Amino acid sequence: MVDPSTAKRLVQVIHDNLPTPVPGRRPVHTIGIGVKGKFIASDVARTYCIAEHFDGAPVEVSIRFSNGLGGLEQHDGWSDVRGMAVRFHLKDGTASDLIATTLGEFFVRNVDDFFKFSEIAKREPFKRRHWLLKILDFLQLKIPQRNPYPGETQSIDEGALRYANQHRFSQLGIFQVGLIGAPESYARASYHAVHTFWVTAPDGVRRPVRFYWQPVAGVNNTDPKAELRDKYLFDELKERLKRWPARFMLMMTIGEEGDALDDCTKPWPGTRLRIAMGTLTLTGIPEGAEQAEAGERISFNPCRLAPGIEASNDPILEARLGAYEVSREMRGGCPFKWSADNA
């Protein structure tokens, strides 16, 4: 377990790298929208995991979709990681959370890596690369640094690249961030929970697994050459849900001996067994005060897990347990009982 002072430092480092302070708000994934939904487990889910939300009965679900950037400015059209935090509401009033993003792998292995990354990948002035340098890049068969978006004056791209050049474990995650793009809709992206969890089956067998959400509508990004739009994702989702519910399949990949269980920078091969655990249906978007609760005050934690699911020893997952709580306290987020007998 990461000690409280480290958890505070983690959150502070993130706050320190923001373009402007965001008091009372999340320091990353600041812009988000709360959505209501229902989850129904597949017929086979209960044979792999005894957690209540996999027993096949419909489960009420709260979802928060978000843009990864920290700060109050909304830039839906920018290439950015998107978040999908899901809370399964259990019968006794507790819950199980599953926090996922469009990033397939993370870029640091532990807290020390994160602090080092934060030192190197600080926000720096970001300017368009001179055309002569771009020609030089082309002559070397390199792809030049991207152009800044309108209004983008600072970026961590250069620092992140420097870090990746020195740390091979981070290269995949940082590559993915660079190529991630902007989704046409929050309902048209795949979201990965990146960490390994252990699930227990009714026969007592424990399996290491990784979860991801796959959109039934399919994955689709916007055209990066088209004119950028700063605000479209919330309205798109509202319009989409007025027409028809949007759905996601919850997929669970089972790890094998030798797979990275405690390192979220390492992918598992595509040849691993994968199980369809159930279907999430987005049913509606709360409005007004209800949206403030569902989109802002709600506080997720990747280690809030129903009996039958356990966190692995992934140091980043451990660190998130404390850091999410510190961040919740700092912004006055809604506390949540962790078990039926702790209010």
Piece of the chain touching another protein by CB under 8 A; list 22-30, 50-58, 139-147, 182-190: 139-147
The dihedrals phi and psi of 149, each to the nearest 5 degrees, come to -75, 160
Residue 43 binds another protein (CB under 8 A):
no
60, 158, 259, 293: which one binds another protein (CB under 8 A)? 259
Piece of the chain touching another protein by CB under 8 A; list 231-239, 272-280, 315-323, 328-336: 272-280
Cβ contact 32:65 at 8 Å? yes
Piece of the chain touching another protein by CB under 8 A; list 69-77, 158-166, 206-214, 278-286: 158-166
142, 206, 229, 231: which one binds another protein (CB under 8 A)? 142
269, 289, 341, 342: which one binds another protein (CB under 8 A)? 269
The nearest distance, CB 167 to another protein, in angstroms, is: 7
Residue 257 binds another protein (CB under 8 A):
yes
Residue 164 binds another protein (CB under 8 A):
yes
Residue 267 binds another protein (CB under 8 A):
yes
Residue 273 binds another protein (CB under 8 A):
yes
131, 223, 226, 341: which one binds another protein (CB under 8 A)? 131
The nearest distance, CB 251 to another protein, in angstroms, is: 11
**Residues binding another protein: number (CB under 8 A):** 36
Residue 247 binds another protein (CB under 8 A):
no
Residue 134 binds another protein (CB under 8 A):
yes
Cβ contact 105:180 at 8 Å? no
3-state secondary structure the chain: CCCHHHHHHHHHHHHHCCCCCCCCCCCCCCCEEEEEEEEEECCCHHHHCCCHHHCCCCEEEEEEEEECCCCCCCCCCCCCCEEEEEEEECCCCCEEEEEEECCCCCCCCCHHHHHHHHHHCCCEECCCCCHHHHHHHHHCCCCCCCCCCCCCCEECHHHHHHHHHHCHHHHHHHHHHHHCCCECCHHHCCEECCCCEEEECCCCCEEEEEEEEEECCCCCECCCCCCCCCCCHHHHHHHHHHHCCEEEEEEEEECCCCCCCCCCCCCCCCCCCEEEEEEEEEEECCCHHHHHHHHHHCCCCCCCCCCCEEECCCHHHHHHHHHHHHHHHHHCCCCCCCECCEC
5, 154, 166, 339: which one binds another protein (CB under 8 A)? 166
Residue 230 binds another protein (CB under 8 A):
no
Write out the binding residues for another protein, residues 109-128 only, by CB under 8 A. Answer: 128
The nearest distance, CB 229 to another protein, in angstroms, is: 15
Residue 135 binds another protein (CB under 8 A):
yes
Name the residues that contact another protein, by CB under 8 A: 128, 131, 134-135, 137-143, 147-148, 150, 161, 164-168, 171-172, 174-175, 254, 256-259, 267, 269-274
